[in-house]
Structure 1
């Protein structure tokens, strides 16, 4: 297996004392096979870039790392810089997040792309020739290779970083925000490039804030929050079938041109940096969760199948006491008539925790009757309405009234 993180923990010291630290990654385990791309998404400060830097053993001097990072079977976590030298850029390469920290302002573009090849012993002429072909592959216009970084656009600089990572043909690619500064057309092309590299057998770890980009070129998605993975899922389900409340909140925070939606976002505020140094109890997302229950603040949850059938291999997992997004209201085959007038006929629907469901239709179509049936003020002739797994008809009316409220259509009805 080309790249594997096993129980990886990373802490940063904040004052020089061993007791003063912040936990940035907590017990991270990810496997990436050859011919596979895994994307990592999450808010800023969730630990994504630290994970990328750890894969190259490029963490800051104040970082303390525990666990294993396996590159082609070799645990690099204890290797020195000199021992890492033949591994970096040859077996594993990275596209850094910020080109301003990487590109040398006084060296020409083509010289910077060719540098790893020359360092590996290739002649300058051969290295420059290969670099020209790589820049052409990444659609850098002819003649721009002799320019300096400040003379090209931000999107071109991002592609230069991609060229520098690909030029030595490593088996593992780490991409930290590869499309952060590019236009829509270039983004589409870079997705093709990444897919071509995956098809060629490379293992790719991709860090991205762009939730619409992840499904274009990754097979699996890891959702990172506060240094922990809360959900692992097939990338094609990220936008339409998230199972963790945090994943759903991320999707709701992301604007997409092809669909109209309310940008509900994640309620509350992210944990502060200082709180990372405090002992954790319960679920780390509990203070911001829309479906938190008592156990969530008391006990740390464990991964469970997203499918609810005990399998985790293909469907991924979710770290949640309630097995992910829970169903609040379930209506199954409900019917209702007023004498000979059929108002509801075999109506079924579900409403999950944290969702807003709109009922629309003509006057007299049964909307109000269905709403009152769900609220328990009208008894259906057939079918069943359940609230958090309990039949509404079996719940004490006073108890139910404390949980479900009605805003009536007419003030006189209330």
Structure 2
């Protein structure tokens, strides 16, 4: 049964059409994947199902949900369309417990005239939503705050928020962003269970592996238009449009030639490092070496300690035991106690490039300041270096002179790389910087990292949950599990011993 019918949807802002003549239908109990690179129009299209539109946009065409026309002036009835955001923590109130929020939502959907039965019905509705969201023991979570939940639990709680309303349609916006393979597998089960309840699911994603595992049908968007659609297997195995073939071909693959392992004196040594949050240790006596020109990927499940280790190396998270040495000299656990030279030699590129820039200062000024502060360059020399480096990575000066909000995510990620490289680092740490990128942008960024490594010779540490990215980029793997190094060695040897989807590299039994 058709639950959503979209006909000739066009969304224009000024003279520019963000979405152009899009038509599709969503069927109860089926998952439809909407794929395409950033800026292709996926989110704008999905937002139309919720009656939302960009500020100042003109919307034409027709959107029907459960047989009723929907637009900005007539949004769908409360609870009819559920929405799971890309970052579930953003949908949870950090100062409210899980239970009261769920009960408050449920009361909105239980009729007021049920009188004495209302409290019982609200509780039943909450428990039903928890079960449907794959949280059968969810009652234990009701007294917790969001920060006391894992990322996977937060995501399932947000799903329960939406299921309380008994929706006919569920929109999932990039739900696997930043998720390790195990959490991703659980999410597949959750969304499959949602569709199994007769709910039509619209999945917005860059993850073609997720699409293949979950979707019944695929819509491929490019520049605001649907360029190809059809059954999942047909579209992914026999793509007809050149853009679809580009998306599929851009998925990272293991490097054909294994890179030689670095030898000689290490650039950085980590010895028996222990760190944690509060009184709880999350890193346990970590020991590893990074050599000049090394390319190391640190992989593992969410919560395994990958980012904590990287932040300890950079001085962003103080370790409380062990020692970290750079070129033979001990580094202070605290950033403000490191010398300017030490700060320059280790640079960190964050997962959320947009959040790492001040929204009130032009991007070029922020980049140039790195060379001024850490290398003592004059203002004019620093700006010239920044402009030249940005141009090499495809970011024009005209874009760099704007505020961060005027640049795309890909441009800001390149700008963040340039900002780090202007200090002339010996070690560059990249924390999940390919997470959430479409396959084309991701492939482009991996090429940029490869080229930067060749041009500068600096050692590279990549924190990632994506084993395909690690296999493509790194000569060495460090596999982490519950705050310890479970295994480390040459990438080619570890992959040969246990394939990319095997439990040895993913599940850590």
TM-score by length of 1: 0.55
Counterpart among 200, 206, 230 of residue 227 in structure 2: 230
Counterpart among 46, 67, 70 of residue 61 in structure 2: 67
Task: Identify the residue that residue 324 of structure 1 maps to in structure 2.
Answer: none
SS at match of 1:212: helix
Contact preservation (8 Å) 2:51, 2:74? no
- The structure with more helix, counted as a fraction of residues: 2
- Matching of residue 35 in structure 1 with residue 25 in structure 2: no
SS at match of 2:126: helix
- Matching of residue 115 in structure 1 with residue 97 in structure 2: no
Deviation at 1:231, TM superposition (A): 0.8
Deviation at 1:21, TM superposition (A): 4.8
Query: In 2 relative to 1, CA 59–139 (structure 1 residues): closer, same or farther, beyond 3 Å?
Result: same
Written as runs of structure 1 = structure 2, the 5 A alignment for 1:297-308 is none
Work out the CA distance in 2 between the residues paired with 1:78 and 1:60: 10
Task: Identify the residue that residue 12 of structure 2 maps to in structure 1.
Answer: 11
Contact preservation (8 Å) 1:38, 1:222? yes
Work out the CA distance in 1 between the residues paired with 2:196 and 2:163: 14
Task: Identify the residue that residue 160 of structure 1 maps to in structure 2.
Answer: 157
Query: In 2 relative to 1, CA 238–80 (structure 1 residues): closer, same or farther, beyond 3 Å?
Result: closer
Task: Identify the residue that residue 279 of structure 2 maps to in structure 1.
Answer: none
Query: In 2 relative to 1, CA 145–171 (structure 1 residues): closer, same or farther, beyond 3 Å?
Result: same
Contact preservation (8 Å) 1:212, 1:239? no
**Unaligned regions of 5+ residues in structure 1, if any?**
13-19, 262-267, 275-414
SS at match of 2:24: strand
Counterpart among 198, 203, 207 of residue 201 in structure 1: 198
Counterpart among 211, 214, 217 of residue 214 in structure 2: 217
Task: Identify the residue that residue 102 of structure 1 maps to in structure 2.
Answer: 91
- Matching of residue 134 in structure 1 with residue 90 in structure 2: no
SS at match of 2:71: coil
Superposed CA deviations along residues 88-112 of structure 1, whole A, max 9, x for unmatched, are: 31x2222122324422222212333
**Unaligned regions of 5+ residues in structure 2, if any?**
112-117, 258-392, 400-509
SS at match of 1:157: helix
Deviation at 1:30, TM superposition (A): 0.5
Work out the CA distance in 1 between the residues paired with 2:394 and 2:28: 38
Deviation at 1:119, TM superposition (A): 1.0
Work out the CA distance in 1 between the residues paired with 2:141 and 2:17: 43
SS at match of 1:230: strand
Work out the CA distance in 1 between the residues paired with 2:55 and 2:86: 19
Deviation at 1:67, TM superposition (A): 0.7
- Matching of residue 57 in structure 1 with residue 47 in structure 2: no
Deviation at 1:184, TM superposition (A): 2.0
Query: In 2 relative to 1, CA 200–154 (structure 1 residues): closer, same or farther, beyond 3 Å?
Result: closer
Work out the CA distance in 1 between the residues paired with 2:211 and 2:67: 27
Contact preservation (8 Å) 1:158, 1:179? no
SS at match of 1:169: coil
Deviation at 1:212, TM superposition (A): 0.5
Superposed CA deviations along residues 29-68 of structure 1, whole A, max 9, x for unmatched, are: 0111222221100111111111121111123432321111
TM-score by length of 2: 0.45
Contact preservation (8 Å) 2:53, 2:72? no
Work out the CA distance in 1 between the residues paired with 2:196 and 2:100: 29
Deviation at 1:7, TM superposition (A): 0.4
Query: In 2 relative to 1, CA 25–161 (structure 1 residues): closer, same or farther, beyond 3 Å?
Result: same
Q: Over the residues paired in the alignment, what is the CA RMSD in angstroms?
A: 2.9
Deviation at 1:148, TM superposition (A): 1.7
Written as runs of structure 1 = structure 2, the 5 A alignment for 1:13-412 is 20-77=14-71, 79-80=73-74, 84=76, 87-89=77-79, 91-121=80-110, 123-124=118-119, 126-140=121-135, 143-255=140-252
Contact preservation (8 Å) 1:158, 1:181? no
Deviation at 1:161, TM superposition (A): 1.8
Work out the CA distance in 1 between the residues paired with 2:57 and 2:183: 35
Contact preservation (8 Å) 1:171, 1:203? yes
Deviation at 1:223, TM superposition (A): 0.4
Deviation at 1:130, TM superposition (A): 3.6
